[in-house]
């Protein structure tokens, strides 16, 4: 597990630690410890909190690499969809010319 985690140093990945998933950036791996930072979002106050945690590597159950991140906010989600669609349309138009 340690060598897998080292390959994700300074990258954002999902970590399953004990029974909870963390969207984390691995900061450092030393001996049998893993340092990482992750963000939590408070829906009531709309505030994000950045946490730094240290866990024993043997407490990590799974690692899931992030392929893409999509906003849950409808307006952001829609604008990104439109942006993607425009890029695709422009790309197709170039090939048709």
Q: Is 79 left (phi over 0), alpha (psi -120 to 50) or beta?
A: alpha
Which H or E run contains 23?
Answer: strand 20-30
Domain 1-66 -> CATH class: mainly beta
At residue 51, the pLDDT reads: 92
At residue 41, the pLDDT reads: 85
Asked if 36 and 27 count as a contact pair (C-beta separation under 8 A), the reply is yes
pLDDT (tens digit, 9 = 90+) per residue, 2-13? 888 999 899 889
At residue 94, the pLDDT reads: 56
Q: What is the pLDDT confidence band of residue 71, given thresholds at 50, 70 and 90?
A: low
pLDDT (tens digit, 9 = 90+) per residue, 29-59? 998 999 999 988 888 888 989 999 999 999 9
pTM of the entire predicted model: 0.62
């Amino acid at each position: 597990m340690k060598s897998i985690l080292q390959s994700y140093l300074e990258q954002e990945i999902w970590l399953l630690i004990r029974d909870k998933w963390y969207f984390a950036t691995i900061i450092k791996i030393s001996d049998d410890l893993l340092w990482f930072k992750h963000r939590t979002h408070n829906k009531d106050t709309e505030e994000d909190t950045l946490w730094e945690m240290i866990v024993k590597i043997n407490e990590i159950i799974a690692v899931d690499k992030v392929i893409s991140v999509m906003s849950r906010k409808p307006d952001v989600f829609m604008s990104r969809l439109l942006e993607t669609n425009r890029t695709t349309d422009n790309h197709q138009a170039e090939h048709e010319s």
